[in-house]
Amino acid sequence: MTRANPFGDLSDFEPVTEPKPVPIDAIEAVSELQGFPSRKAGQPNAAQSDTTQSTNPQGARRRRRRTTSFNRQVNIKATEETVERLHSISAEEDLPLGAVLERALDAFERMKRADREQGE
């Protein structure tokens, strides 16, 4: 039994020299259907901003960027309720998450010291 050479006859296989042009209107129609934002300057569509907020799994949490001295990242597993509490305290006090963590640790250490002093 003989095998056919997979590279034997490639005469009908030639690279495409020029891509077929796609009309701009077709591209814009497809991108609008799929919800891609336009790069054109103008007012954002109200329907798009509503869908962006409703698909945000974090709710309406405001994104904040701060320049701080906090330069280490901590990855902690927690319940959804704990994460929400952390973010709500951060928003209410207008503090970065690292500052909230520092204050919580300080309070925990004070509480632990007070418990030890009462036990003695």
- Alpha-carbon distance of 15 to 2, in angstroms, equals 29
**Residue 9 confidence (pLDDT):** 77
**Residue 44 confidence (pLDDT):** 57
**Residue 113 confidence (pLDDT):** 95
**Residue 104 confidence (pLDDT):** 96
**Mean pLDDT in runs of 10 for the chain (120 residues)?**
79 79 90 84 56 54 71 92 95 93 96 91
Domain boundaries, the chain: 78-120
Instruction: Measure the CA angle with vertex 40, ends 39 and 46; round to 5°.
Output: 90
**Residue 93 confidence (pLDDT):** 94
**Residue 56 confidence (pLDDT):** 53
